[in-house]
Amino acid sequence: MPAIQYPDTRRGDLVEPLFGEKIADPYRWLEGDVRSDPDVADWVSRENTVTESYLTKLPAREWFATHIRTLTDFERFGLPRKAGRHYFYLRNSGLQNQPTLEVRDGLGGKPRLLLDPNSWSSDGTAALDPELWEPSHDGALLAYGVQQSGSDWRVLHVLDVAGGRLLPDELNWVNDSNIAWIGRHGFLYSRFPAPPSGQIFQALTFNKAIWYHLIGTSQSADELVYATPGHPDWGHKAKVTSDGRYAVITSAIGTDARYEVHLIDLAVRKEHVWPVRVLVTGFDHDWKLVDSIGESLWFVTNWDAPRYRLMTINLAAPFPDWREIIRQGDEPLQQASIIGDKLILTYLRDAASHALVVDFRGGAVHELALNDIGTASGFKGKPGDPETFYSFSSFNQPTTIYRYDMASGQSAIFASPKLDFAPDDYAVDQVFYRSRDGTRVPMFIVRRRDIATAHRAVPTLLYGYGGFDIALTPGFSASRMAWLQAGGAFALANLRGGGEYGKDWHDAGRLGNKQNVFDDFIAAGEYLIAQGITPQGGLAIQGGSNGGLLVAAVTNQRPDLFAVANPQVGVMDMLRFDRFTAGRYWVDDYGYPEREADFKILRAYSPYHNIHSGVDYPAILVTTGDTDDRVVPAHSFKYTAALQAAAIGAKPHLIRIETKAGHGSGKPTDKAIAESADELAFLARWTGLEVR
């Protein structure tokens, strides 16, 4: 490959004194909005031209594009949601840019297309939010959220299910909301005030409130249900219990699972009056609403139980009357559902799912059989339902949807993929390794079975996240399967900071403990080499968002260990992350840059501020989207500019900036395939993975 001539990037002379240090920020001008700042737009264009010129010459690019497309081209279904006699679900026929929403009248009814987002834009960048759609309780109406170009902003619309007619309702400035129907005439939702003009994709967000929308009226007529103007940094979301009796308001102050809970008894609500009752105060613990039975509410909580337990509160009691139903166990309780006359409990066992069916007193009925190491999700429904649906997937098994019969305790396939590969040809193993301080950390390793049996060292892609109490669990990815088919190995490390083992595991990888996450990831790489899974010079690393921060930070700390790095949509400037969009929420995991103790921790690992000139770095491909309004692309812009200006060796240090794309959600299939092919071709080039 010819030597790369990076674009000229203007270097400013900005230096700020912070807690006794002089902090240079020469590329702050790249924080300008690419949509409105011509200098930033020009820089993006020039960087993309250089990167595209390099990527088009990679010999494996077309191979990966072809194989990822083939591995993506199968019919996929989402979990059905039942309302009245209707079953609603998402479906992608294979290579559609966006999944459609279909409905059946009865379980065996003929599928009928309700929404086709592929008709909403010529380039596939208008999308139905796969989580933000909800039928009314009788299934007559459907409210749903639309996103544009990957932005986190949503616009809510309402559809008449019987006739497929779009109603005039349109609700703007929705971000991270539920849709909670009250009967069939209206619903609760959360929204922010409109952001300042010209700052839609960058401004901090405050004053998130709950509103009631009456079907057929304009947004200006919506009723304010719950807000805290004295605390503009608090945010609120609502759910309505399946019997329609209670609206439960959950309030948050950051990304931590620490909430206050309030209640509205809808049976006593009067017009334009929303009587709110306090249930939980203090922002101390997690409270996940399960549902209601009569005058009792059920919650999964980590109150005095870091691995969670199931509790109920009797709303008819004159004082808070909490009762434990399922005590804390050895494994984290992820979810509980009331279905029919039983409970379904989902646990994590070393980052893989298992599920129990129990009675209302917690007595075990049986364990729900799941196929091998994988992830089960779903189990939605309500008291009295005869059925529920759940999905199961693993690294070598795309999602299969099952219907579970509550009376018989039997599962039957509702929808399963037709594959052009044999899952048994790929071995999924779980190992445990020791981190720097001796902590035992789990890791999944996936390889072709012939490679695993022969104990051959092959180029390996190591993925991690390690933050925000999020557990990484087994799941299928067409791009990862293409990497495996090419002869590479894939490893997923379950780092501290995640939610794999409950609150203690999360706490061990955040704030002052953040270095543990990096140590865990570095130790994973060392293990893969020491065990002969990958050769020296054959290790690629990848991670997105907080995982992008992880990849960039460990590249600074151990550039000798990795052959190539792919930090995706990463948080790179840890001294200014809280200045944009949702960044202020992340202080729960990262700390406050304006506090000296936190500043010193953040300064020590901030990727943008710790690039070491005079050291050979691995090849690096930074990826981001120009409409990412969660982790604004300025993080990646500034980091890349600093990489390209530093004396860190001859390997390429490039950035790929997707247009009309955000943090990941809503990305069209065509864009996702092209991006993955570029990434894998780059990783293959610098790990020595040869495709045939």
CATH code for the domain of 648: 3.40.50.1820
18, 383, 457, 579, 637 from 599: Cα distances, Å: 9, 50, 41, 15, 22
In the chain, the number of structural domains is 1
Q: What is the pLDDT of residue 319?
A: 86
588 is a domain residue: yes
Q: What is the pLDDT of residue 363?
A: 81
The segments of the chain whose pLDDT lies below 70 read: 1-2, 371
31, 152, 265, 487, 687 from 37: Cα distances, Å: 9, 21, 49, 44, 37
Task: Domain of residue 59: give its range.
Answer: 15-69+421-687
534 is a domain residue: yes
Q: What is the pLDDT of residue 458?
A: 98
645 is a domain residue: yes
Pairing of strands 296-301, 287-293: antiparallel
CA distance 232 to 225: 15
Total-model pTM: 0.97
CA distance 496 to 604: 19
371 is a domain residue: no
In degrees, rounded to 5, the angle at the alpha carbon of residue 676 between the alpha carbons of residues 673 and 679 is: 150
Q: What is the pLDDT of residue 366?
A: 84
Which positions are annotated as active-site residues?
Answer: 545, 663
Q: What is the pLDDT of residue 1?
A: 66
Q: Would you say 640 and 27 are in contact if contact means Cβ atoms under 8 Å apart?
A: no
Q: What is the pLDDT of residue 678?
A: 98
655 is a domain residue: yes
Q: What is the pLDDT of residue 371?
A: 66
441 is a domain residue: yes
246 is a domain residue: no
Q: What is the pLDDT of residue 318?
A: 85
Q: What is the pLDDT of residue 364?
A: 75
133, 338, 499 from 140: Cα distances, Å: 14, 24, 38
410 is a domain residue: no
